[in-house]
């Protein structure tokens, strides 16, 4: 790559990245609506796959059910 092309590439990259400032941009978490039934299904699958112990599963199931009240 010659010097002119390299300088142009650096200038373009700098211009594009210059607008990516976190000080002026607010990042919002995605809004996700998952039913209680789906949450319970997901927890059971996690337990069955070994990702959650029986105790962790029971604690999370109780948390999901309590949050519905």
- The per-residue pLDDT for 42 is 97
Answer yes or no: is 26 within a domain: no
Q: What is the pTM of this model?
A: 0.55
pLDDT band of 61, cuts 50, 70, 90: very high
pLDDT digits (tens, 9 = 90+) for 3-58: 666 656 666 666 665 655 556 678 887 788 899 999 999 999 999 999 999 999 99
Distance CA 59, CA 53 (A): 10
In angstroms, the CA 43 to CA 57 distance is 7
Domain residues for the domain of 61 are 33-69
How many whole angstroms separate alpha carbon 65 and alpha carbon 47? 17
Q: Which two tokens stand for residue 56?
A: 């962790």
Please report whether residue 1 resides in a domain: no
Residue 60 resides in a domain: yes
Q: How many domains does the chain have?
A: 1
Within a domain: 59: yes
Identify the pLDDT of residue 46: 97
Instruction: Supply the pLDDT for residue 7.
Output: 57
Q: Which structure tokens are listed for 61?
A: 């199931």
């Amino acid at each position: 790559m010659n010097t002119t092309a390299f300088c142009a590439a650096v200038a373009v990259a700098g211009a594009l990245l210059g607008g990516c400032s976190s000080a002026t941009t607010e990042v919002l978490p995605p809004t996700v609506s998952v039913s209680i039934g789906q949450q319970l299904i997901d927890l059971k699958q996690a337990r069955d796959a070994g990702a959650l112990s029986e105790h962790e599963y029971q604690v999370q199931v109780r948390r999901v059910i309590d949050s519905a009240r």
